Structure 1
Amino acid sequence: MNTYRNEPADTRSMGIVHSALRRDLRRTHMVLESPPYPDESRRRALAAHVLWMCRFLHRHHAGEDAGLWPLIRKRNRTAGALLDRMEADHAQIAPALAAVEGAAQAYDEDASARGRLLTALSSLDDVLLPHLRREELEMMPVVAATITTAEYRALEHEYFVKPKGFVELGMEGHWVIDGAPSDDRDAILSVVPAVPRFLILHGFARRYRRQAALRWGTGPAASVPALHVTPIKERS
Structure 2
Amino acid sequence: MKFNVTIASPSPLISSGSLIFNGTMIWLYTALGTEQVGYFVYLDSLTFVSIHFPQFDLLYDSLPLDPNKEHTATVQPIRLLESVIVEMDLGDEVDIMMSMDDGQLFEQDGFVAMGTWNTDSCLRAGRAAGMCHVSEGSGSIISYTFEGDAITLWGIVENSNSLYQVSVDGVQPVLYTPSNITTPPPIIVLAHYSNLGPGSHTIRLTSLPKDGKSRIEVDYAQVYTKSSIAGSVEIASSNIITDYSRTQHSIKHGLPSRHAFL
> Higher Cα Rg: structure 1 or 2?
2
Which protein has the bigger strand share? 2
TM-score using structure 2 length = 0.26
Higher relative contact order (CA 8 A, sep 6+): 1
Which protein has the bigger helix share? 1
